[in-house]
Amino acid sequence: MDIPRKSAKRMKMIRRGVIATVGLVVIAAVTVGLSRLEPAAPSVDRRTLWLDTVKRGSMLRQVRGVGTLVSEDILVVPALVSGRVTYIRVLPGAIVDANTVILELSNPDLERELLDATSQLNSAKARLSAQRTSLQDQLLGNEASLAQYQASCDEARLRAEVNQKQFEQDLIPELELTLSQTNAERAKRLLEINKRRFEMFEKETVPAQLAELQESVSQAESLCELKRRQIESLKVRAGTNGVLAQVKDKIEPGQQIAPGTVLARITNPSRLKAQLKIPEVQARDVLIGLLAEVDTYNGTVQGAVSRIDPTVIEGNVTVDITLNGALPKGARPDLSVTGTIEIERLEDALNVGRPVSASSEGVSELFKVVEEGKYAIRTRVRFGRVSVSTIEVLEGLDVGDEIILSDMSQWDGQDRLRLK
């Protein structure tokens, strides 16, 4: 009969305890080790990235903007009077001269007003003619009265002379002589007074009354001429040689037009300039006289900055570029163009292609390619002056470093990427 040994059971329990303890220690060690491991870097397809290498050398600073070609000679044709569009004779794009009728308006009220003005003119002329006749009659009457005063004066003078001789011969008394001399003096004074009255009437009264009526005639003539010009302006003419351009608000037949409405624009297609919209953050470096290049998408032409708008509209500054070279084929007003303005050339500057998130005089965090192109790590970089496609590097990168220029905002939570 077998007798069980108590020591064997005890040893078995000890072995199990040791094994369990070792297992727990191993599990704990593995857990701690795994917790200390860094997570695997996300993979990014290198072919989808835009990369560039930092270099040192000459860097041309430029700013770029989009815009249109506009004519330097633009004549705006407004409506001088109100009216309704009855006929459009010329469409945008047509070559016109000064007398070309662009469109016609109608306004029956103007014709009625012209008839009224003509009637007023005829009435004013009739009043002037009647007054001139009346004044001429008064002038003749005054002249006849003056002749009578002259005759009376001569008669009184002669009588006084006769009485003087008779008095010297003691033929008449002194009283009669004195009376005749007094009559002669009175007749002379009356003659002088009436002469002044005649001269005043002839030189002042007559011209003044005629001038007042003549002014009425002139006003009536001016009003009549104004109405004639207004009726003539219903036939809207170009006013100069050029090409008819499209207006902002298209004019349609039957449309009622108010005075001052722009009916047409006449442009000179041989003298064009470019108007570019430059972002306000870049426009601060633009100066008048800087060289520029304008791309019409069918050729380029050189130019220079001729005007900078002092105001900012929707975040852009309007810059005019005077074109110096021959215009490319197809260049015309309102053609969309892009322009590049040369700001300055930096010599011996550390520069790289402009990253999407980089700004002038700013700091950005970019991914720099390391370990022979296998990985990219986040790097803090300080930039300086900026151009259209390049930017100056001040700190954080060296010559030969390769960085990712693409938008990496989707990897904002990662400091390391694996490139495949």
Long-range interactions of 200-204: CB distance < 8 A, separation 24+: 201/138, 201/139, 201/142, 202/139, 202/142
**Location of structure tokens 């950005």:** 364
Cβ-contact 358, 396 below 8 angstroms: no
Q: Which H or E element spans position 370? A: strand 363-370
In terms of Cα–Cα distance, which of 208, 33, 50, 53 is closest to 131? 208
pLDDT value at 37 more than 50: no
The reported pLDDT for the residue numbered 29 is 62
Could you give the count of Cα atoms lying within 13 Å of 289 in the half-sphere of its Cβ? 1
Q: What confidence score (pLDDT) does residue 7 get?
A: 58
Average confidence score pLDDT of the chain? 85
- What tens digit of pLDDT does each residue of 246-271 get? 887 788 888 998 998 888 888 888 88
**Predicted structure pTM score:** 0.58
Tens digit of pLDDT for each residue in 203-214?
888 888 888 888
Residue 379, pLDDT above cutoff 80: yes
The amino acid sitting at 324 is N
Residue 45 CB partners (closer than 8 Å, separation 6+): 420
The predicted structure's pLDDT at residue 67? 94
Q: What is the pLDDT of residue 301?
A: 92
Average pLDDT over residues 158-186: 82
